[in-house]
Amino acid sequence: MTKTKASSKKKQNRGVDFKKIKRKLGRKLPPPKNATNTEIKSKAIVLPEQSVASEKKGLAVNKKGLTLKELLQQTSHHNAKVRKDALVGMKDLFLKHPEELKLHRYAIIEKLRERISDEDKIIRDTLFQLLKSIILPGCKEDYQGPLISLMMAYIFNAMTHLAIDVRVMAFKFFDLTVQHYPPTFSLYTEKILQNYEDILQKSQFYLQDKGKLKTVLTGLLHCLSLLPSDKGRGPLEKNVPSRGVLHAYEPDVSTESAEFYVGIKKLRDLVPVLVNCFQDFIPLIHSTPLLDGQSFDCMISILQSIDFAIRFLVHEIYNTTCESIDGGNDLTMWNQILSLVLFKKLLGVFPLNPVHHLLEKVWL
């Protein structure tokens, strides 16, 4: 009896570890005490004076609401798609607000010229179309000399680019500038002829891609067509007053006679290169019964370029250079070159049929 009372006292003094709560059926259980409240509350902050639309009020924007400043900044973006969209957006902006182009034309060219050597082909093509269809025609009423001079350093830099596609596109840009401002060729005769000689002589790209050769020859043919010949003075010599204005951007400018003399020397080096380029097509003519269209166009452009070059050389030697710069020696040397290159190397392949063999290339 004594043991039973002692054990009951121990049970009463022992603490309760877990208190069991009796729940009634049909009642919703309350949340636990350590439950986390996941409810999210937010409040809107209204700042009517800081709206983006109000900041651009009164400014010219394109259909996407971007200003000229924003578009120019995006042309340097690391993403190619953003750069392309910026160029397309500028076209839309200039069509809606032509005054933006006239007011900021120099700032626009200074920024866009960086994309002449862009690694992305789509960017270069988009820029070319923008210049061709909108910017240069839009500035036609103004004097284009200083505007184009801002682009020339970047165009010549692209002509020496490691990528052949960038180099070929640079000649296309130069041809575009000559189309809108013909005196450009006379101002940079030495540089451009040297670059034409380099790409035709050293690259040999036309053996694989005749489309690129056609692009280069089209620009060269256009430039040489501007040269004066025995039929009269060409467009280059009719723009002497305007040439002086553009020379303000070129600190070291030689006289007109020296410029043409340098052009004559470069043309003398270019003619044999063109003859060699033409001779590279002779095996193709002999091996295929039907010549493709691109090869035919290239051969025609080469022959026309040689024709313009010879006309100019003969005209200048007999009428200008012979009297001022050691004319006798120059004339004798050129007669020898003319006889060797044309009559022995070029005319010897005509008529173009398999009976005639390919002569050795000209190395002068």
Asked if residues 104 and 72 have their Cβ atoms less than 8 Å apart, the reply is no
Distance CA 106, CA 128 (A): 17
Asked if residues 117 and 158 have their Cβ atoms less than 8 Å apart, the reply is yes
Asked if residues 195 and 269 have their Cβ atoms less than 8 Å apart, the reply is no
According to the model, what pLDDT value does residue 36 have? 87
The number of residues making up the chain comes to 364
**Residue carrying structure tokens 């639309």:** 53
Structure tokens at 347: 């005319």
Spell out a b/e string for 214-242, using b for 16 or more CB atoms within 10 Å of the CB, else e.
bbbbbbbbbbbbbbbbeeeebebbebeeb
If one counts every other C-beta atom within 10 angstroms of the C-beta of residue 302, the result is 26
pTM, two decimals, is 0.71
Q: Average pLDDT for consecutive 10-residue bins of the chain (364 residues)?
A: 56 66 77 85 74 66 89 94 95 92 91 95 96 88 78 94 92 94 88 92 67 91 84 46 39 46 76 85 76 85 90 72 51 58 64 48 44
Angle formed by the axes of helices 293-316 and 256-279, to 10°? Answer: 150
CA-nearest of 167, 185, 169 to 177 is 185
Residues contacting residue 45 through CB under 8 Å, at least 6 positions apart = none
If one counts every other C-beta atom within 10 angstroms of the C-beta of residue 320, the result is 17
With H, G, I as helix, E, B as strand and everything else as coil, classify residue 61: strand
Structure tokens at 273: 């290169």
Angle formed by the axes of helices 189-201 and 164-180, to 10°? Answer: 150
- Domain extent listing, the chain: 61-142
Distance CA 266, CA 190 (A): 7
Structure tokens at 191: 């540089």
Asked if residues 109 and 147 have their Cβ atoms less than 8 Å apart, the reply is yes
**Residue carrying structure tokens 């240069």:** 136
